[in-house]
């Protein structure tokens, strides 16, 4: 089990009299990720509306802020005990056997134009044996072909752009991997979170984006940017791509500042809390879905 | 009330030993659209899996077909009694007041890149009074700027492409209108169906695509292609865009043929069945969603 | 030497009172391609304006047609005696050593966005030894990754589209190869012509598009679609891409019909006329340019 | 007449042993722009290759720099006496009457995809009376629909991107105007230069990009970004778009710094030197081309 403690500080200058915002900053609640403690502080006297998605554990927050400065601080401690599975036991599933809830994740989405990646996916991965290793091959292919370059992409950069440019940040790696997986008829989705264990040379801790692919009825974690060990990923938002799971979506004229994030892993052998480390097994932190 | 009776015949040549297909061809079941009778016939001894979405009434069907010819015929009779509302009573809603289920429809999607249409939407519609008439203005803007040209677009054509090309078919009109509405922070979604009352000069009856926009807590119908009176639209699939609500998505090597569709309206004043006609009021055929 | 005899018939219905058209249908005149005989017939009493480009031998024809049917027929016999060079003697040139006239062909153009292909080109070909074989490797890479599918592209399809789609026709193969060559700082240009020797299974004889790359101060022929032996290519137009060298550019409302093209090779050992055949040497049919 | 005196300082760090660069920084020599004095200083002992284009007066410079710092300083004094014409005397020309040298500027290019702008151009400008005022309408349309935002675009931004985004810098304004003009069958080209008279609030003096459109056999100046009076534009490079006329194109791994540019207008009534000012007439600084 991994215990991670983190804080997120967000700051906005609201220009309009009021401004709606949607946040994905609460730690998700799933069978494998428990929120031990959490606290939300807002500098404005607004009443946020919190909605927990029963399927994916995401906790969307909406609020209407007033003109002036908006400050949020969210603190949480989570325990994560991944479902672990040996790669050779993980199988790709035919469309006809997928849980209904997985179906939205086989279609193309804003940033993952899988419809246009079918030929490439078939050429690169079509002859491989289906299963966990094939998905790993997709992950490594993306990792090898894309260079992580801060500032090399923007809000409208899609999987096709990243494929051509060969550069991107974590969300771009995720979009390209998702696009390729869906082009192979594999349900794949976007997860946003915070990562523990990234190389400090990569800059200050930031939100992270990674991928889940459904195998044998569960969603397994893959991080094509390989920025941190998947075991160190705190799960926050889930969606088809970054359009759904942005940490903040702002509906108005707002000046935004870089988020300030701090994360630590708490090690305590007596409690069974170990540090996140790389692991060859399949890891899942999402609810198990009953097939149907 | 409108009573519509229709049949859909689909034909495929399956090249692979087996092939998964997902269909959206069943008439949706909503509070305002009742399936009076229906029948599905398949030439292959396969067991389709039918899933009814509780939120939007869509009825997805999956099946795994075998090599050779696959023939489907679906017959249905539906009664539609729209929820009707006077335009001046229909208001746009702030993000903070939207039902949670409407939120997926404010984000950009594969074919509706609303994130890139914000400036255009603001320039063209930003100064108009919010409400039904503004949405009508978006619908008419799309109708005026896009010419209906069969074969002028393909499966990868998006709202941006249509904006530039100025030509398209019904799904392209729908995508552009959806993109513009979302760029105005209006939840908008894609509905597929069959239309009664199209000009026969437009060719044989085909699947149709139109738009729903949420106003005052309900989804109201708009048809930017103006191919037929909204009152004559049989509701089938619902989604973010055509990626979700295609009448058929095929996962394999398949030869497809043009669908064969026949529809008639049954007029009987004694039963209260009238023919579809144009109407200035807002029409809704979707479930009412309790705000949250 | 190769002697080729061909005819081109073009047919248009002009809707406007007058309509300007630009044609590239005359056989080019270069040091290596001689027009032995030619004849142009027009059904309208219009005076075409013919312009011969001294640099590349292209012969542009402009005319203003009248309402109604426009019929052109061009017949020509050409002798082609390529400049032939052994691959190992052909070197890539530094930008500073290029003839000034080659410079326009190192920049990106409408359909060849070499600026966005630099990373891919560097990854795939950057470590190869510069020279003819590297260019051959680019040609083969394009040939292997793109499938020739009639009707799979349209007038706005670019090298990036073809890279992603993996399908195209001859002009798409040419655009992708040109884009990759320019991304390697190699001058590359688009040539339109007619090919002798294509597989009849590919359909009736049509206009063809291929590529020239500058090596050791000359333009050498490459046909990434490998539709026919380069020795069987009659040179017509030259340009940065298909925008410059289309066989016809129409400035008005016109109905166009498929061109009707017939070509034959005349074999006569006594005259030294041989049939076109595949050949491992570098072939050039363009003027030699004095470096500067 | 206008006398302008300016200097350009460029600085690069060359990482490779050698690196080819192409510059467009020399003041063009045309019938209407005279280079009174000029001086080029380089900190490396390299021999630049200077090529004067007889058609458009552009003076391309190529050089191969060595590893380390490369510094260029170019100083020049130019006299500009525009050809001035009354708008009502300027006519659009049919394709059949254009000088041959104008033809490359009617085709789409890398950043000006006029082939995809035909419908929009026809809708917005198709019913206007042809002539100078129609071109002015295109210029004003672009000016009104695009906001000047530094850093809002990048090297791969094209006219279509700018049309959708509604933001850009001077080169983006120019590309969109060129694309629309060509879509109306008007030859239009890209000119790079330096502008005198820009609002100091726009930041330090920089290279500028503007447009020339052929009317009545001459190229007339239009500045869709309206950053400065056209009379204050020193002509440097000419091309189809920014791909051809960039002030520097670098073929290697180089760190670039912002150019340092200083310009002044010298007023002396006795010499006939006036300050640049806005003027309602058509201005041309390009060679007159003999029709053919």
Identify the band that residue D290 occupies on the pLDDT scale cut at 50, 70 and 90.
low
Cβ contact, residue pair C164, A120, below 8 Å: yes
Q: What is the pLDDT of residues A210-221, one digit of tens each?
A: 999 999 999 999
Which stretches within chain C are classed as H helix?
A: 118-125, 132-145, 159-165, 170-183, 242-245
CA D162 to chain centre: 18
Check CB contact of D66 with chain C, cutoff 8 Å. Answer: no
| Residue A184: partners with Cβ closer than 8 Å, 6 or more residues away | A121, A122, A125, A126, A134, A138
Domain C83-244+280-284 classification at class level:
alpha beta
Domain range A83-243+275-284, CATH architecture: Roll (3.10)
Identify the band that residue A199 occupies on the pLDDT scale cut at 50, 70 and 90.
confident
Q: Return residues 144-203 of C near D (CB < 8 Å).
A: 155-156, 185
- Give the separation between CA A202 and CA A217, rounded to whole angstroms: 34
CA distance B166 to chain D (A): 6
ipTM, 2 decimals?
0.95
Question: In this prediction, what percent of chain B has a pLDDT beyond 90?
Answer: 90
Identify the band that residue D199 occupies on the pLDDT scale cut at 50, 70 and 90.
confident
**What is the pLDDT of chain B when averaged over all its residues?**
94
pLDDT at C292 over 50: no
pLDDT at B51 over 50: yes
Question: In this prediction, what percent of chain C has a pLDDT beyond 90?
Answer: 90
Check CB contact of C64 with chain D, cutoff 8 Å. Answer: yes
Cβ contact, residue pair C119, A163, below 8 Å: no
Identify the band that residue A118 occupies on the pLDDT scale cut at 50, 70 and 90.
very high
- Give the separation between CA B96 and CA A201, rounded to whole angstroms: 39
Q: C-alpha distances in angstroms, B257 versus B40, B62, B260?
A: 19, 19, 9
**Which tokens belong to A118?**
């079918």
Q: Where in chain D is the domain with CATH 3.10.620.30?
A: 83-245+276-284
CA distance B161 to chain A (A): 14
CA D142 to chain centre: 16
Nearest CA in chain D to B167: D119
Decide if B233 contacts B207 (C-beta within 8 A). Answer: no
Q: What is the pLDDT of residues B237-264, one digit of tens each?
A: 999 999 999 999 999 889 999 999 999 9
Check CB contact of B49 with chain A, cutoff 8 Å. Answer: yes
pLDDT at C290 over 90: no
Q: What is the pLDDT of residues C13-35, one digit of tens each?
A: 999 999 999 999 999 999 999 99
Burial (Cβ within 10 Å: 0-12, 13-18, ≥19) of residue A288: middle
Q: Tell me which chains share at least 3 CB pairs under 8 Å with chain C.
A: A, D
Q: What are D148's strand-pairing partners?
A: D168
Q: What is the mean pLDDT of residues C57-70?
A: 96
CA distance A201 to chain C (A): 24
B chain contacts of residue D163, beta-carbon cutoff 8 Å: 164
- Give the separation between CA D185 and CA D106, rounded to whole angstroms: 6
Supply the pLDDT for residue B135.
Answer: 98
**Among B188, B238, B216, CA closest to B289:** B216
Decide if B126 contacts B92 (C-beta within 8 A). Answer: no
Cβ contact, residue pair D167, B119, below 8 Å: yes
**Which tokens belong to D252?**
């290697």
- Give the separation between CA D181 and CA D187, rounded to whole angstroms: 7
pLDDT at D89 over 90: yes
CA distance B280 to chain D (A): 29
Cβ contact, residue pair C109, D110, below 8 Å: yes
Nearest CA in chain A to B103: A244
Q: C-alpha distances in angstroms, D291 versus C2, D96, D102?
A: 38, 10, 9
Check CB contact of A66 with chain C, cutoff 8 Å. Answer: no
Which stretches within chain A are classed as H helix?
A: 118-125, 132-145, 159-165, 170-183, 242-245
Supply the pLDDT for residue B290.
Answer: 61
Decide if A115 contacts B243 (C-beta within 8 A). Answer: yes
Residue with tokens 């009457």: D97
**Among D84, D71, D26, D111, CA closest to D216:** D84
CATH number of B83-244+279-284: 3.10.620.30
Supply the pLDDT for residue A292.
Answer: 43
Q: Where in chain A is the domain with CATH 3.10.620.30?
A: 83-243+275-284
- Give the separation between CA D265 and CA B111, rounded to whole angstroms: 52
- Give the separation between CA C209 and CA C194, rounded to whole angstroms: 8
Q: Where in chain C is the domain with CATH 2.60.40.2250?
A: 2-80
Supply the pLDDT for residue C202.
Answer: 77
Decide if C189 contacts C205 (C-beta within 8 A). Answer: no
Decide if A106 contacts A93 (C-beta within 8 A). Answer: no
Fold entry, domain D83-245+276-284: C8orf32 fold (3.10.620)
Is it true that domain B2-80 has CATH number 1.10.10.60? no
Nearest CA in chain B to D113: B164
Q: What is the pLDDT of residues A84-116, one digit of tens each?
A: 999 999 999 999 999 999 999 999 999 999 999
Check CB contact of D94 with chain B, cutoff 8 Å. Answer: no
- Give the separation between CA A234 and CA A78, rounded to whole angstroms: 8
Q: Where in chain C is the domain with CATH 3.10.620.30?
A: 83-244+280-284
In this complex, which of B63, B156, B249 lies closest to A96 when CB atoms are compared?
B63
pLDDT at B292 over 60: no
Question: In this prediction, what percent of chain D has a pLDDT beyond 70?
Answer: 99
């Amino acid at each position: 089990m991994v215990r991670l403690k983190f804080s997120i500080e967000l700051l906005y200058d609201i220009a309009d009299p009021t401004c709606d915002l949607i946040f994905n900053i609460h730690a998700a609640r799933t069978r494998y990720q428990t929120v031990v403690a959490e606290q939300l502080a807002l500098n404005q006297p607004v009443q946020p509306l919190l909605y927990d998605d029963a399927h994916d554990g995401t906790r969307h927050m909406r609020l209407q802020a007033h003109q002036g400065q908006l400050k949020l601080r969210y603190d949480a401690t989570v325990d994560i005990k991944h479902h672990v599975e040996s790669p050779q036991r993980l199988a790709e599933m035919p469309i006809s056997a997928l849980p209904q809830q997985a179906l939205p994740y086989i279609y193309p989405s804003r940033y993952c134009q899988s419809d246009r990646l079918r030929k490439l996916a078939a050429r690169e991965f079509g002859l491989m044996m289906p299963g966990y290793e094939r998905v790993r091959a997709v992950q490594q292919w993306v990792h090898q072909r894309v260079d992580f370059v801060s500032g090399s992409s923007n809000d409208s950069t899609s999987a096709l752009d990243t494929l051509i440019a060969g550069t991107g940040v974590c969300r771009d790696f995720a979009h390209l991997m998702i696009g390729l997986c869906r082009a192979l008829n594999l349900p794949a989705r976007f997860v946003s979170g915070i990562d523990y264990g990234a190389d400090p040379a990569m800059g200050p801790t930031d939100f992270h984006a990674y991928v889940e692919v459904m195998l044998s009825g569960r969603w397994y974690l893959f991080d094509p940017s390989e920025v941190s060990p998947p075991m160190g990923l705190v799960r926050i938002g889930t969606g088809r791509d970054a359009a759904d799971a942005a940490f903040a979506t702002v509906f108005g004229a707002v000046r935004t500042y870089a988020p300030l994030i701090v994360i630590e892993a708490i090690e305590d052998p007596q409690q069974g809390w170990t540090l996140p480390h790389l692991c060859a097994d399949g890891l899942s932190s999402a609810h198990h879905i009953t097939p149907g």
